[in-house]
Amino acid sequence: PSIAQAIDKVIKIAADELGYLEKATNNHLDSKTANAGNNNYTKYWRDVYPDYQGQAWCACFVSWVFMKSFGCDIAKKMLKHWPYVYCPTLGSLFTKHANPKAGDIVIFYRNGTFAHTGIVTKVSGDKFWTIEGNTSGASGVIANGGGVCQKSYFNSKLPGTKFCRPDYTLVTSLLSNLPSQKPGTADSNATKTENPSNTVSTKIDPAYSFSKSLAGTYTTTTALNLRTGAGTDNTRQKIQCVIPCGGTARCYGYYTEVNRTKWFLVTY
């Protein structure tokens, strides 16, 4: 994907979480509104760092969004450490920009330190918009507000607030370093022989989706066509070769879904 596509992906993942409320207990973590409370229990801590469940989670939300957008390994590189849970840490690792751009991570300055964070989604002149975890819809910078909300601010009214710019070229490098083979299929007729842990599923761009749990070596249980693209239109997704029964193919975790069928990017 392009840098713009990568940024759009982050913003979309964050926007899908709008309306999420923290929980009173460790129950119903995947529901946006059920079991709402003020004890900082969230699915974000569960997925990012379960030992911190019950702690403030504005930075954890940012970590979660980047993890869901690009996978944990890339998120670690983009955030320069893992997980991002403390605003001053990010401020010490990144060049701190005075003016925002979409895709930046804002670190709000309050009472002599960086105390709250979110993702910049839009900029127009002095005004910028964010999606933040653990805030509220009230005006101004609200830390520990308990929900995921969209906010807006005037940068000139936030002295000390800075903007950290993740290296989105890491995402474009991820795809450019893949082998040149085109997507093939490894469907229910293939038996997986390797299953990495720490599953992270997220769509990288309109052409490919990614699931780390799908990466591995597969053995086919019937002959399968290896095509130049996802689908069975022989004029567009041409057959490169036939993988015989018992053949092994390497899947990198990338796939395209066509009519509810996953077509995997593989080498054979």
* C-alpha distance from residue 2 to each of 154, 170, 174, 204, 210 (Å): 29, 11, 11, 10, 16
What's at 5, amino acid-wise?
Answer: Q
* C-alpha distance from residue 166 to each of 120, 155, 176, 183, 248 (Å): 12, 19, 19, 29, 37
Report CA dihedral (20, 65, 140, 81) to the nearest 10 degrees: 130
The DSSP code for 260 is T
Per residue in 11-28, pLDDT (tens digit) is: 999 999 999 999 999 999
* C-alpha distance from residue 186 to each of 26, 125, 178, 181, 255 (Å): 37, 49, 18, 14, 10
Find how far residue 122's CA is from the centre of its chain: 18
Task: State percent of the chain over pLDDT 70.
Answer: 84
Instruction: Name residues whose C-beta falls within 8 Å of residue 181's C-beta, 6 or more positions apart in sequence.
Output: 226, 265, 266, 267, 268
Paired sense of beta strands 105-110 and 113-124, if any: antiparallel
Residue identified by tokens 């093939």 is: 184
Instruction: Report the alpha-carbon distance of residue 158 to residue 172 in Å, rounded.
Output: 33
Instruction: Name residues whose C-beta falls within 8 Å of residue 80's C-beta, 6 or more positions apart in sequence.
Output: 90, 93, 94
Helix axes 169-176, 72-79, angle to 10 degrees: 140
With cut-offs at 50, 70 and 90, classify the pLDDT of residue 208: low
Per residue in 132-190, pLDDT (tens digit) is: 999 999 999 999 999 999 999 999 999 999 999 999 999 876 544 444 434 444 343 45
Instruction: Report the alpha-carbon distance of residue 244 to residue 215 in Å, rounded.
Output: 20
**Phi/psi of residue 78, each to 5°?**
-70, -35
Q: How much is the pLDDT for 193? A: 52
The pair of structure tokens assigned to 248 is 């092994």
Among 5-19, 78-92, 114-128, 215-229, name the one with the lowest average pLDDT: 215-229
Contact call for residues 119 and 132 (beta carbons, < 8 A): yes
Task: Report pTM.
Answer: 0.68
Q: How much is the pLDDT for 192? A: 55
Q: What is the mean pLDDT of the chain?
A: 85
Among 13-17, 41-45, 254-258, name the one with the lowest average pLDDT: 254-258
Instruction: Name residues whose C-beta falls within 8 Å of residue 155's C-beta, 6 or more positions apart in sequence.
Output: 99, 100, 126, 127, 128, 161
